[in-house]
Amino acid sequence: MTLLRDDELSAAFDHASRAYDRLVAVNPGYHHDLRRSARRLRLPADGAGMRLLDLGCGTGASTAALLAAAPEAEIVAVDASAGMLERAAAKSWPRAVSFVHASVEEMGAAGVAGPFDAAFAAYLFRNVTDPEGVLTALRDLLAPGGRLSVHEYTLGGSAGHRALWTAVCRGIVMPAGRLTGDAELYRHLWRSVVEFDTAPAFGGRVARAGFTDVRVLPMPGWQTGITHTFVARAPGSAEGGR
């Protein structure tokens, strides 16, 4: 099986959107871990006056996590899957949250323009064709000193981490995908993780894209060594002490 990319991947997520929220709800800590990664942005106060970008928002779980960290901020949430975005937009949101249907590579054409004070990207980078290009574009969308948090399945590098991920996918994730008619997408999920960067390697990508203060932070619980938060800053000095 080759990895799904671009239009094929968006179509797979369109189909999976019907059952997606129910499936992730059975993942212990899924929403809590997203909130943890959003808090790791260390946004000031309640985020009042800030403009935030949520990349690959899916059905809105990452948007809700970002909103919990900064309830007074303006949030622009972007996703390439029309089906996932429809599910997200149908939920109840403050007026300062808006959704844009676009791939991360085509955000500019869809009217998404900086500067943003911070960006959050959850489960995104394994699924893009050009991670370096997306990181560079994201850096340029951030204000000087703007903050980045990437929440991603990135294995810690040991054989045990890979074995645990494979066991979870083969025992739980892929069987659930077959039940919902989304087997190909969840096979892609497994393979996209084992073929993507390790956590140290992705941290290196972020640094090479020009971000500063890059840190790789683990998740607790069963996802230790499987899911990490990568936090960094865009180059330059933040205004107003941010």
126 lies in a domain? yes
The predicted model gives 216-226 an average pLDDT of 92
Residue 145 belongs to what domain range?
24-156+197-235
Q: Does the pTM of the predicted model rise above 0.85? A: yes
Higher-scoring residue by pLDDT: 210, 4: 210
Cβ-contact 140, 169 below 8 angstroms: no
Nearest residue to 203 via CA among 155, 143, 171: 155
176 lies in a domain? no
Confidence bin at 241 (pLDDT 50/70/90): very low
Residue carrying structure tokens 């180059």: 235
178 lies in a domain? no
Please give the C-alpha separations between residue 213 and each of 22, 222, 242, in angstroms, as whole numbers: 36, 27, 15
174 lies in a domain? no
Confidence bin at 23 (pLDDT 50/70/90): confident
Q: What is the pLDDT of residues 170-182, one digit of tens each?
A: 998 999 989 999 9
Nearest residue to 33 via CA among 77, 65, 78, 75: 65
204 lies in a domain? yes
- What CATH number does residue 33 fall under? 3.40.50.150
DSSP 174-225: HHHHHHTT-HHHHHHHHHHHHTS--HHHHHHHHHHTT-EEEEEEE--GGGTT
| Count of the separate structural domains present in the chain | 1
147 lies in a domain? yes
130 lies in a domain? yes
Is the pLDDT at 31 greater than 90? The verdict is: yes
191 lies in a domain? no
Q: How many CA atoms lie within 13 A of 57 on its CB side?
A: 30
Confidence bin at 242 (pLDDT 50/70/90): very low
Cβ-contact 68, 35 below 8 angstroms: yes
Say what the pLDDT of residue 25 is.
Answer: 82
Cβ-contact 189, 178 below 8 angstroms: no
Q: Rounded CA gap, 30 and 217, in Å? A: 16
Is the pLDDT at 145 greater than 60? The verdict is: yes
Neighbour count for residue 130 (Cβ, 10 Å): 11
